[in-house]
Structures are given as C-alpha cells and as structure tokens.
C-alpha cells in the first residue's frame, strides 16, 4: 500500500498571534493567548517535522492578522500552482495579500476564485484519490466547489458540515493512507456520512473525546502522525494501525480553534510504497 510522504511545508511564525481579540469559532478564547508559549509550541512543531526530514519554509507574520499563523487555510498548492483562499470572515481577509506575495515571489502561478465564493484552503479540503473533498457549510460553499473543480480539472465532492465546532474539514476528518480515514460522524450531515462510507473502504470513527482533543487536526507523513498530545485512545488506535505518534502540545493555538494541521500548509508531498 502506498503512503504519503511530506517533503516541504509552509508555516507562519506566530510573532503577533497573542494579539487575537475576536472569536469566529466556538473554540476561541480571545485575550488568553500566551505569545511566548505559542512560540515554544510552534518551534517544537518545526522540530517534529525536521525529525521526519520535512523542509519547513517560514513566512513572517504581519501585525493585525493574528490568525495568519494558520498557514493551511491560505490556499491549496498543487505543484507550482496555488489556489488562494477567499476568507469567509472579515477578520481574516487581510491575511491573503501576504501569502499572495510569498507565493508570487517564489514563482507560483496564482489562481484566484470568483468574488462571490468562500474558501479556506487545506483547512477545508483533502485530496482523496482522483477527487478533492471540500467541507462546505461554514467556510466554503457550493459555488467554490464548482470553481475549484474547473481550475484543477478534478471532481470535487462537497461534504456538508453541520456542527459549528467542526467548521473546517480538518477538524472532523483525517485521511491516514490510501484506504483508511478517520471522521467524526456528528460533524457531518447524514448524506455526507453516507458519501464518506462509499468513498473510504476503511472509515473509522473518532470518539467525542478524540475529536474534541483535535485528533483530526493531525499531520500524517509515512508511518508517523504528528498530533496534539494527551489523546491516549487515538494514539492507541494509531499504534494498532502500524503508525507512530509524534505528540506535540498545541494548547495555545487551540485557543483559536487551531492545531497541528492548521499551522502547516503542505507544499510538496509524494506517495511511496
């Protein structure tokens, strides 16, 4: 069976993350973030990636856009083409110009979505074989799915998210390899749960505790899973599936409703046996 191997990621140094003063998802606790601690957590995440030979590119954070740290939400990069996000909430719209500049300066072709669409990058999408799954309902919509399908010439499967705490696909769904994925059933509509059951041969459920402990927001590379610490049953399940946990503490980022996966935009990956 083939396994995904991440080669290069983009992350944003959390220099001004502690200035966060708004709440746009139910996890957020504005005014409580410890900036120094967030920096320690972020640097430990980099170390975890480096231990897996993953190259980490870093973009500087700008003032006034605290959630800019969540690099995965900024777009989907496929080769040297990137579809830039169109943020749903005003608080995050200012992040895009900095990422646009970063990608432009490195020779990426930028694809822009139509003005009347919403999309938050890899936070809301996962490639699954020849399809792209997109979480719709909170941060992305059906029009977006059509537009992205055209740009990448790919079949897009919308998955309806129905719980505001699971506002992004990467909070309720986690592909592990070609055949196995985890999901949190209450996060999705009945119809979308059925769609997932048809698409994923080995579809496993997260318990409430696992989902609330941000298990879905993990980063999988080869037989390693970088995930939020303190999730013993998830760790045990991974072990039984032949995966090794690399636990990291992301508590400061969870105060904004984000974790490992949110902080990490995968720029290059491959599939290996």
Q: Which residues are catalytic?
A: 168, 262
Sole binder of ligand ARG in the list 18, 73, 141, 210 (CB under 6 A):
73
Site string for ligand ARG, 168-207 (x = CB under 6 A): x-xx------------------------------------
The rounded distance, in Å, linking the Cα atoms of 119 and 86 is: 5
Whether residue 132 contacts residue 152, with contact meaning beta carbons closer than 8 Å, is answered with yes
Q: Which residues pair with 6 in a beta bridge?
A: 269
Are the C-beta atoms of 8 and 54 separated by less than 8 Å? yes
Neighbouring C-alpha atoms within 13 Å toward the C-beta of 158: 19
Residues 79-98 that bind ligand ARG (CB under 6 A): 92
264 lines the binding site for ligand ARG (CB under 6 A):
no
Nearest to 168 by CA among 235, 53, 89: 89
The 3-state DSSP class for residue 244 equals strand
Kindly give the pairing relationship between strand 173-175 and strand 244-248: unpaired
By CB under 6 A, tell whether 256 contacts ligand ARG.
Answer: yes
Asked if 25 touches ligand ARG (CB under 6 A), the answer is yes
* Residue closest to ligand ARG when measured from CB atoms: 123
70 binds ligand ARG (CB under 6 A): yes
- Phi-psi map region of 161: left, alpha, beta (phi>0 left; psi -120 to 50 alpha): beta
Q: Is residue 41 close enough to count as binding ligand ARG by CB under 6 A? A: no
262 touches ligand ARG by CB under 6 A:
yes
Rule CB under 6 A: choose which of 61, 72, 74, 177 binds ligand ARG: 72
In the complex, which residues of this chain contact ligand ARG (CB under 6 A)?
Answer: 24-25, 28, 67, 70, 72-73, 92, 123, 168, 170-171, 256-258, 262
């Amino acid at each position: 069976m083939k396994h995904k191997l991440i080669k290069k990621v983009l992350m944003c140094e959390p220099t001004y993350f502690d200035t966060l003063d708004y709440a746009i998802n139910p996890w957020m606790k504005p005014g409580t973030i410890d900036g120094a601690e967030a920096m320690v957590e972020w640097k430990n995440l980099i170390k975890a990636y480096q231990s897996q030979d993953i190259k980490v590119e870093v973009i500087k954070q700008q003032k006034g856009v605290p959630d800019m740290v969540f690099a995965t939400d900024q777009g989907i990069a496929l080769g040297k083409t990137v579809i830039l996000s169109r943020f749903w909430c005003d608080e995050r719209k200012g992040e895009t110009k900095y990422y646009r500049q970063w990608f432009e300066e490195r020779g990426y072709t930028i694809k822009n979505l139509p003005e009347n669409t919403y999309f938050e990058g890899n936070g809301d999408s996962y490639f699954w074989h020849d399809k792209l799954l997109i979480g719709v309902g909170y941060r992305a919509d059906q029009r977006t799915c059509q537009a992205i399908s055209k740009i990448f010439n790919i079949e897009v499967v919308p998955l309806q998210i129905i719980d505001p705490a699971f506002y992004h696909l990467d909070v309720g769904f986690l592909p592990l390899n070609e055949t196995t994925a985890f999901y949190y059933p209450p996060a999705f509509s009945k119809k979308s749960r059925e769609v997932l059951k048809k698409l994923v041969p080995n579809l496993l459920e997260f318990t409430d505790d696992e989902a609330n402990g941000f298990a879905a927001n993990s980063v999988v590379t080869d037989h390693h899973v970088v995930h939020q610490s303190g999730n013993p049953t998830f760790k045990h399940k991974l072990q039984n599936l032949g995966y090794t946990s690399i636990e990291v503490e992301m508590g400061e980022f969870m105060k904004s409703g984000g974790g490992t996966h949110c902080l990490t935009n995968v720029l290059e990956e491959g599939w290996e046996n």
